[in-house]
Structure 1
C-alpha cells in the first residue's frame, strides 16, 4: 500500500522548505523533525505577548515591549566588547537600545538616525534608565503587520532559532492540504473541534496564552488525532490477532472443582468473574488476548491456574511464562499442591535443564504427557514443541510488548493469550499500552488477608527497629530488610547492603540473617532465598531484587531503608511481600530527614492506602506517564501533542471510536475509513498500515 499522493508535499525533504539547508536539516533532527509534516506537529510550547504599546511607560520592567520609536544618535562602545548604545524616543520617553559585539556599520543600516522603527524585546531598568538589550525584532513601520500580537515560542535545539522555526513552519503550513474528516461527526460537533487543516493553522498561530494550553480546541483535536491513530493501530493488531481462527476450548469444570474443593477458602467474587470472562473467551472461536490486572495479593495465580485447567479439560496443554527463574520455581511450588488435587502433571523448563533430563521433558511435552509447562522465555526456543497448546499465560507484562504477544501466539497455532500484571495501571495508560487487549481486573483482596500496618520511622530510630525485629524473631516470625540502590555505582550500594547485613548479624545472631543482592551469582542468590523460604534464616537483607512475586507467608515485617528515594509503585510492590499469611504484618518505611515535599507526599500516600489503583493514579499525577511504566521498556508511544496525564479521558473515547469504526468498516474502505488511512500515514503508524495491507 503506497503513500497517498495528497501527502507527498508533506513527506518531501526538509531542504525543500525556504531557509532550510542541509546543516539546519541535521539540527532539526534533534527535535525529531525530519519531514515538513513533522513541523506541523512541533507545536509552540508558550508565547510572547507582542501587543503594541505607545511608550515604555506602559509596562513595568522587566517586561516584553513592542513600541514604535524614532531613532536618535548612535554611541559606539568605548572599549572592545563594551555596550554600543542607540538612543531612541517613543511617544513619551527617551531611552536606549543596547548591543554587544555588534558591528557599527550593520547597526547604522538597521537603525538609521532620524527614521522610525518598530522594536520588540525585553525592557529592563539599568541605573534607573530603561534599556532594551538586543531587541528580538526591528521592523520598518510598513512591516509592522508581519509581527503577530502574540508570538509563538517553539522548543529549540542547537543550530535552530525561533525565527528559523517560524519560517520553516510557515512553509510547511502552505503545504498542508485540506483532508477528509476521520473523526466521528457527532463527536467533533459535540466537542466543537475545528477541521484538521484549521486546527494545525490555529495551533501555530495562538492569539493568547489560552491558545497554547492543552485545553484549546485546536490542540485537543490534534491530540485526539494522535490518540485515535494509536488506538486504531492497536485495534487493528487486536483484530488481526482475533481473526486468527482461534481454537474453541470448552472446559468441563471437573478439574477446577477438584482444585476449589481442596482450598481452605472460597475464591473472591472478582476471581470468579475473571475466570468466567477468560473461560468465555477460550470457548469462543476467536483468539483470546486478555490482560489480567490485579493488585499485589489479589490472587492472580489461582485465576491463571484455573484458566490453564480449562485448556487441560478440553484436551489441550497450557504454558505459564515467568520473567525469571526464581519466579518460575515459585509458581511451581505454589501450584504443585493444586495440580496434585486436580491430578494433572505440571513441569518446569528453564535454561538450566540440560542433556538427557531436558530431552526427556521435551519428549513428554511433545507427546502430551505434560499438561501444564512452567518456565522462563526458554519455552520459546527451537525444539520446544507442544502436542496441543491451547493457552499461554505470561506473568509480569512490561517485559513483553505487542510484538512478543504475537510471536507467542504463533507457538500454538492459535493459542489463547492471557497476560498477568501485578502493577495496577491507571486506565488511560492501560489503554495506551494494552489497547489491543481485553481487560479483567481483580479488585478485591482474598478472604483472610489482614491489612498491613504501615509506619514512617526516621533513620535515627534504627536501633528501636532492630529491637522490634529481635522480639518478632523470638516469636518465630521472619522479616525482610530492603537496602536501597542509592548511588549509581553498584559497588557503593553493595557496601551499604553488606554493612547492614553485618550490623544485623551482630545484633541478631550469626546464622539468623541472610543476604541477597544483584552482584551475586544466581545459584548463591537462589540458595539464600531458599534458606529464607525454609525458615533457616529469620531476616533477609536484600537490595530491591525481592520486588516481584516472592512468597513467604511467615514473613510479617518488611523494613525499607531510605524509603523516600523509591517510587510509589515500587514501595507498594515491596510492601506486598508481607501480609501473605494469616498473621498481621507491618511495613516500616525508614527515611532520612529532612524529606522533600514529593518524598513526604509519596510516603504518606503509601502509609494511608493499600489500594494499588489509587496509588497508581497518584503516581501518574506525581511522576508523569513515561516514568510510571519506565518508557524504555513500556512500549508506551511517544505522543507529540497529546498529554496522557492531562488528556487521559480522550484516550478512552479514542479507543471506543477506533473499535466502532473497525467494527463497521474492518478494511477501512468507506469514506471515513479512507480518511483514517490518511491519518495513519500522516502520523507514521506504519505498523497499522502493514496490518491493513496484509489484511
Structure 2
C-alpha cells in the first residue's frame, strides 16, 4: 500500500496507469474519466459474489457461480465453428466448460488434465448437462483468492471490459496515498470519524456503495459539497475585496417614478430595493442575484435601482437573452421613464450598422444613460463613458466561470445585478450561487389575480374548446402547449402540426405555430405576431420564452401535462394572467396516471408559490430533473444529493463561514480542491 501523503498521484492523467493506451484513454474519456481520481468517483453499480465455492450437485441455472473442479477429458472437434469443451468433475457431479474462439493450446494450458482448478462463470443447462460457457475466470488452486471475492461491477462504456476496468481500479486502490486530514476534529466527529481513504476503499470493496446514508458515503459526499462551497466562498471574498467609487443619490428620481405608478410596490420589492441601494452606495463592488418567481416584478425593481445609478451620473446596461424580451424591457423602460431626462438606447445584433454607430457614439459621450439589448451590448466596439451597473436577465445559462468574467465587466466601479425567474430550492442556493449575494422576490403584486388551475381528462377536450372560444370572444389569447419528446423531433413536429390544423378549424385562421424545426428568428416572428394580437391561439412544442409578458394571454392549455415536471408546469402557467384579467391554466391528461403524476397535478392546483413548488419537485423527481437546463455546479456532483444529504449541505454552509474567517487554514484544503477539480477556478481567482 502507498504510505505517501502526496495527492499528486491521484491528479495525474489516466494514461499514467499501466494498461492505458491511446484507445483506452479515448474510451474512458466518454465516461468523463481523464484523471486517475475520476476512477474513484465511478462507484460500483452492483456486486458479483464469487466468494463461495459451490458443489456441482447444488448449481442454479443463470447464477454466476465459483466451482472447484478437476479437468478429466478434452473434446476438441475438428469441425469449424463448433466450440471446444472440457469435461470437469468434483465429488458430487460433472460439468462441461465450453469455449468459443479459444485455441486448443490455450485451453490445455489453463485446464491441464487431472489438475484441480478454480472456475467462475454463469451456469447454464444444455442437453441434460450443466455447463459454463466462456468462463470469466480459470485459475489454479494457489490463485483461488484472486477469484473468490465479492467483485464490484462498474458502469462502463462500450469497448471497456470488466476485466480491463477492474485492473485499472485495482491499481489505483493499491496506491491511494495516506492524505493528511483536512477536516477539524469537530467536523470529523459529525462524519462518524471516517477517513477519506477508508471511505474510498470501503465503497469500492463492499456492498455499501449505493447506500447514500452509509457513513463512508456521507464522508465523501460532504467533501464534494465542501469543495464546491469553498470555490464559491473564494469568488465571493475576492469580489468583496474589489473597491469602487460610492454611488451617491437621494432617491429623488426613483421616488418620483414610484409615485407615478398606478400600482403599489410590494413590501418584498421595497425591501430588495433597499438592499440593492445599500450595495450601490457602499465602497465594495456589488455582485447580487435577484431571484424571483414568475410575475413577481423583478424588472420593475431593476429599473428603479437603475434610475438611482443614473442619478449618480453613471450609465446602466440591461442585457436580455432574446431580442423579443429586450424589446419588452425597452418598451417598459420608455413608459416608466417618460417625462424624465433619462435617455434610453436599444442595441441588438439586428440593429442597422448606421444606427449602431450613432448609439455607440452617444454611449461613449454619455448621451445615453440606459442601454437595453442582447449580447450585442458587450461587443468589443461598444464603449461606455461611465458604466456603473450591468443588469443581466435570465442569467441561468451562465456557469461559475462565466459569472466570474461578468463580475469584472465594466471595471471595478461597475456593479452587477443578475436576475432569474427560476425558483431554486433553499438547499441549493449556496451551492449554486454562493459566490453572490441573493435576494429572493416571493411576494406577488396585489393587483395580480391568482391563476386558476384546472385538470381535465382528454375525453373532455370539447369542454375545453368551448371555454377557449369564450375567452377569445372576450378579447383574450390562448397558449396551447404540446410536450417535447426528445427521442423524436419529427413526432413533435407532426403532433404539433396536427394540433395546429385541428385548432385552425375551430378558431378560424388566427392560429400560430412554434416548433423545434423553426429558427430562432422564425420563432421570434411568430411570438411578435402573438404579442401584437394578430394571432389568437399559439400552439407550441417548446417552452414559451420565460419572462415575456403577453398581457392579453389569459388561458394556457398544457397537453399531456403528466409529461412535464412541476417546475416546468409552473413556469408555463406563469405565461398567462400577467395583466389585470383572470388567468386560467388547464392541465390535460391521459388515462392511467402514475401516482407521481397525480401528486404533481394536486400540488400545482394547491399553490402558486414557485419556491414551494421547486422544493416539492425536487423531492418527487430529484434535483437533476428539476434543474432541467442542468445548472452549472450541480451537474458536476457525482456523489452528493441535495435530497438525501440535506443535513450535509447545512453542515457545509455552517463550516464554510468558519473557514472564511481563518485564512491560514485554507491551504490544508488544497488536496480536496485538486481531487474535486476546483483548484483551477481558485487559481484563476487568485491570479
TM-score bin (small chain): 0.7 to 0.9
SS at match of 1:447: coil
Whole-angstrom CA distance in 1 between matches of 2:350 and 2:482 = 29
Cα distance in 1 for partners of 2:242, 2:375 equals 23
CA distance in 1, matches of 2:210, 2:500: 54
Listed as ranges, the matches of 1:589-628 within 5 Å are 589-591=587-589, 603=601, 605-621=603-619, 624-628=622-626
Match of 1:276 in 2: 274
Structure 2: tracts of 5 or more residues without a match: none
CA contact (8 A) 1:120 1:137 kept: yes
Matches within 5 A, 1:619-638: 619-621=617-619, 624-630=622-628, 634=632, 636-638=634-636
The 1-side partners of 2:187 and 2:405 are apart by 36
Q: Is the 8 A contact 2:71 2:113 kept in 1?
A: yes
Distance 2:14 2:683 in 1: 25
Q: What are the Cα deviations for residues 336-368 of structure 1, in whole angstroms up to 9, with x where unaligned? A: 333237764444222343355444433443344
The range that moved more, 85-94 or 572-581, is 85-94
Q: How does 1:184-195 map to 2 (within 5 A)?
A: 184-195=184-195
Q: In the alignment, what sits opposite 2:168?
A: 168
Counterpart residue number, 2:475: 476
Distance between the aligned counterparts of 1:129 and 1:629, measured in 2? 54
Q: Give the deviation of 1:690 after TM superposition.
A: 1.9
The 8 Å contact of residues 246 and 287 in structure 1, kept in 2 or not, is answered as: yes
Deviations along 1:101-159, one digit per CA (max 9) or x if unpaired, are 33344333323333322333333455665443333223333322334532122222344
Distance 1:489 1:157 in 2: 24
Q: Which moved more, 1:562-571 or 1:550-559?
A: 562-571
Equivalent residue number for residue 443 of structure 2: 444
Shift of 1:395: 0.5
Establish whether residue 661 from structure 1 lines up as the match of residue 659 from structure 2: yes
Counterpart among 662, 684, 687 of residue 691 in structure 1? 684
- Offset at residue 195 of structure 1 (A): 2.4
1:103 to 2:103 alignment:
yes
Report the CA distance between 1:504 and its aligned residue.
3.6
Q: 2:492 and 2:527 mapped to 1: Cα distance?
A: 19
Q: Distance in 1 between matches of 2:521 and 2:675?
A: 51
Residue 576 of structure 1 deviates from its aligned partner by 0.8
Question: Do the aligned residues in 2 keep the contact of 1:54 with 1:90 (CA within 8 Å)?
Answer: no
Cα distance in structure 2, aligned partners of 1:47 and 1:250: 66
Gap change, CA 1:82 and 1:239, over 3 Å in 2 = same
Aligned position for 1:328: 326
- Mark the CA change 1:166 to 1:193 in structure 2 (over 3 Å): closer, same or farther: farther
Q: State whether residues 50 and 148 of structure 1, in contact with CA within 8 Å, keep that contact through their aligned partners in structure 2.
A: yes
Tell whether 2:178 aligns with 1:178.
yes
- What are the equivalent positions in structure 2 for 1:284-683 lying under 5 Å apart? 284-340=282-338, 344-355=342-353, 357-414=355-412, 415-483=414-482, 497=496, 500-501=499-500, 503-510=502-509, 512-514=510-512, 529-530=527-528, 532-535=530-533, 537-544=535-542, 546-591=544-589, 603=601, 605-621=603-619, 624-630=622-628, 634=632, 636-643=634-641, 646-647=644-645, 649-665=647-663, 670=664, 672-683=665-676
Change in CA separation of 1:684 and 1:492 when aligned onto 2, cut-off 3 Å: closer
Deviation at 1:422, TM superposition (A): 0.8
Specify the SS of the correspondent of 2:672.
helix
Cα distance in 1, alignment partners of residues 539 and 17 from structure 2: 61
Q: CA RMSD in A?
A: 3.5
Distance in structure 2 (CA, Å) of the matches to 1:77 and 1:450: 83
Question: For the structure 1 residues 453 and 124, does the alpha-carbon distance in structure 2 shift closer, same or farther, using more than 3 Å as the test?
Answer: farther
Deviation at 1:416, TM superposition (A): 1.5
Q: Distance in 1 between matches of 2:392 and 2:500?
A: 35
* More deviation, 388-397/351-360: 351-360
Please say if residues 547 and 570 of structure 1, whose CA atoms lie closer than 8 Å, have aligned partners that are also in contact. no
Distance 1:144 1:219 in 2: 30
Hey, what's the Cα distance between the residues in 2 that align with 1:245 and 1:437?
16
2:293–2:422 contact (8 Å) kept in structure 1: yes
Shift of residue 65, structure 1, vs aligned partner: 2.5
Q: Is the 8 A contact 2:11 2:674 kept in 1?
A: no
Change (3 A) 1:24 1:517: closer
**TM-score normalised per structure 1:** 0.86
What is the deviation of 1:193? Answer: 4.3
Question: Which sits farther off after the overlay, 297-306 or 640-649?
Answer: 640-649
The worse-fitting range, judged by mean Cα deviation, of 371-380 and 129-138 is 129-138
Q: 1:619 to 1:187 in 2, by over 3 A?
A: same
CA contact (8 A) 1:431 1:652 kept: no
Distance 1:30 1:548, change over 3 A: closer
Q: Please list every run of 5 or more consecutive structure 1 residues that lacks an aligned counterpart in the other structure.
A: none
Once the two structures are TM-superposed, the CA of residue 330 in structure 1 deviates from its matched residue by: 0.8
Q: 1:227-242 to 2 correspondence within 5 Å?
A: 227-242=225-240
- After TM superposition, give the deviation of residue 14 of structure 1 in Å: 4.5
CA distance in 1: counterparts of 2:517 and 2:134, whole angstroms: 56
Is the alpha carbon distance of 1:13 and 1:324 closer, same or farther for their aligned partners in structure 2, counting shifts above 3 Å?
Answer: closer
